[in-house]
Amino acid sequence: MDRIFIEELRVEAWVGIYPRERAVRQLIEIDLEFGVPDAAAEHDDIADTIDYAEVIARIRKELGERHFNLLETLGEFVVALLTEDFGAPWVKISIAKTGVAKGVKRVGVAIERGKLA
């Protein structure tokens, strides 16, 4: 199975349980990898794969409109988006908040769903 990866996608999202987190969107960083059909490389046709530009636009749109209490829930939402709406058979995602704790660069979660062929 071929894979597409998107690294350090920065998105402003409504996420968190604390009042300061609910007041404004936070910058989060997403690393994403997902499986795509081998046919894309065989036919050199965007119709045979998942268009990463569409994935990025959709993630930015959806995360800008919804609130998530937990990064875990946000991650599962993005995984479902990739599997259900884009047809990815396998998704690996890590999501991190930056600057949320003194002396800590990033805090986040990693999720992997589906099967590698």
Can you give the CATH number for the domain in which 78 is found? Answer: 3.30.1130.10
In angstroms, rounded to a whole number, what is the distance separating the alpha carbons of residues 45 and 30?
27
Give the active site residues.
Answer: 97
CA-based diameter of the chain, in Å?
51
* Separation CA 110–CA 71 (nearest Å): 9
| pLDDT value of position 22 | 87
Q: Which of 95, 83, 76 is nearest to 50 (CA)?
A: 83
Distance separating alpha carbons of residues 6 and 29, to the nearest angstrom: 11
pTM: 0.91
CB 38 within 8 A of CB 49: no
Please tell me the total count of domains within the chain. Answer: 1
pLDDT attached to residue 117: 60
- For the chain (117 residues), the mean pLDDT of every run of 10, in chain order, is 94 91 91 88 84 97 95 97 95 92 91 84
Q: What are the beta bridge partners of residue 37? A: none
Token pair, residue 26, equals 């936070």
- In DSSP terms, 114 is beta-bridged to 90
**Range(s) of the domain holding residue 44:** 2-114
Token pair recorded at residue 86: 């884009």
